[in-house]
Chain A
């Protein structure tokens, strides 16, 4: 009999597991895949290491900072700041036609940039920042308001509004067109007020750190252990049945599989609530270069681009990918102590229509991957130096890749638009954590696992 079974060995499941194992629970994490990580993972291809998922950690505050999500994460998991080996970003930019905003981990640069390019908006922007700083994510009753409405009350230049939404939506909006005000504030703080960083060794360093700690505390990790159903008895979970047929008994279950996905696993006959699955999925074109991007004088960590004054955050219609807008990430361009390597990497992420991608048969899929790699990269070089002659290897991930690794419906990267912030379900001892609980990003998903474990599994 387990005290808690956790479904999914991603960031949130591993973090929840550490908390529970630390306080003496018998706990097992069940992972369908043969490897850990879920959405944020890593792989090796033709002798090179790649990250999947987020381009950088958000919420990066300097060592010694006592407030904010990163400080909370470190304390709760008993890590030292140095354990994460974070190097800060060089600097990033938001590029729209006729306007470009640069930002770093010091928000003063963004204030200066706004004042220089949108003089009439400078005071208004500072007021908006104050409003965001004051926002309390636990008590604010305005959490569900439309962020576009709240921001537009302050910022009256529509171009600036679009430019501020672009990075925040790319890095964490499950909702089309708009965001909840609460989510906007959390994302704004995590990217503009705290900042971006990356460990030299990438996502694998964080995952390995989590797994090592979890195992050292006596936690069990079962790979290739997909859950076939959550077994219930009179409105309570009594355990799970694995795909292989094994039955595991548990006093409670914490699932990071996603809201709809978790509901479908329950065998209590309750109809799955008609909560909509997410619609927003991505393709990412990855280019390995023979030199680091700094060689051709490109030092930006992230470039968010959009080729018209309006930013469209919707599922693409009519095309498999929407290349009008995207995110270019150069993992080489962080402030490491030494160069990442002799080669370089450019990752370009754009919105994709998962229905079209999932409908392809194998030969058509392979062809589409090549065709869209070219188009995505072609779109990106309108905003950064043309690196195409430097490419020595390529890879591509699609909504299909996301479905395979995360099990999320529709390959929805940020899950369902409607979140379950308190993590409860219709069953007394079944809880959700991770993307569909409401926090995104690496730090966010770890915090999700921690807080759901604290709230629901450590109180008795």
Chain B
């Protein structure tokens, strides 16, 4: 997957977690916590959705990389580059 495709996937997960949220104006450089008020339970969900959908394992020590969209995509790129977009 390309960075743009990974971003789409993360966006899809966020839309699934928060269906009432308007994600069109999401600022990639600002933390999810700040913009969407996501809490620790929600971060666990992002991790589990990644595992469920793409078999990507994010160890607990790496959760810090999932703070904003841009840091998440940067972190996931090496892990997901060999995954085919379906």
A interface residues (Cβ-Cβ under 8 A, vs B): 23-24, 63-64, 66-67, 71-72, 74-76, 78-81, 450-451, 454, 458
Tell me the bound Cα distance from A128 to B73 in angstroms: 44
> Known interface pairs A66-B37, A451-B41. Does A75 touch B17 (Cβ–Cβ under 8 Å)?
yes
Q: Is there contact, CB below 8 Å, between A81 and B52?
A: no
Tell me the bound Cα distance from A76 to B43 in angstroms: 11
> Known interface pairs A63-B20, A66-B36. Does A76 touch B45 (Cβ–Cβ under 8 Å)?
yes
Tell me the bound Cα distance from A78 to B42 in angstroms: 11
Q: Please give, as numbers and ranges, the residues of chain B lying within 8 Å of A450 by CB-CB distance.
A: 41
B19 at the A/B interface (Cβ < 8 Å)?
yes
Instruction: Tell me the dominant secondary structure on chain B's binding face.
Output: helix
Q: Is there contact, CB below 8 Å, between B42 and A75?
A: yes
Of B20, B42, B48, the contact of A80 (CB 8 Å cutoff): B20
Q: Is there contact, CB below 8 Å, between B39 and A74?
A: no
Give, as a whole number of angstroms, the nearest-CB distance from A243 to chain B: 34
Q: Please give, as numbers and ranges, the residues of chain B lying within 8 Å of A81 by CB-CB distance.
A: 20
Give, as a whole number of angstroms, the nearest-CB distance from A321 to chain B: 41
Give, as a whole number of angstroms, the nearest-CB distance from A453 to chain B: 11
Give, as a whole number of angstroms, the nearest-CB distance from A12 to chain B: 16
Tell me the bound Cα distance from A169 to B18 in angstroms: 33
Chain B, residue nearest A71 (CB) = B37
Q: Is there contact, CB below 8 Å, between A75 and B18?
A: yes
Chain B 16-34 interface 0/1 with A at a Cβ cutoff of 8 Å (1 = within): 1111100000000000000
Q: What are 15 pairs between A and B in contact, CB < 8 Å?
A: A23-B48, A24-B52, A63-B20, A64-B20, A66-B36, A66-B37, A67-B37, A71-B37, A72-B41, A75-B42, A76-B41, A76-B45, A78-B17, A80-B20, A81-B20
Q: Is there contact, CB below 8 Å, between B17 and A458?
A: no
B83 at the A/B interface (Cβ < 8 Å)?
no
Q: Is there contact, CB below 8 Å, between A78 and B52?
A: no
Q: Please give, as numbers and ranges, the residues of chain A lying within 8 Å of B48 by CB-CB distance.
A: 23, 458
Q: Is there contact, CB below 8 Å, between B20 and A74?
A: yes
Give, as a whole number of angstroms, the nearest-CB distance from A149 to chain B: 31
Add 17 more A-B contacts to A71-B37, A76-B42, A451-B41 (CB < 8 A): A23-B48, A24-B52, A63-B20, A66-B36, A67-B37, A72-B39, A74-B20, A75-B18, A76-B41, A78-B16, A78-B17, A78-B19, A80-B19, A450-B41, A454-B41, A454-B44, A458-B48
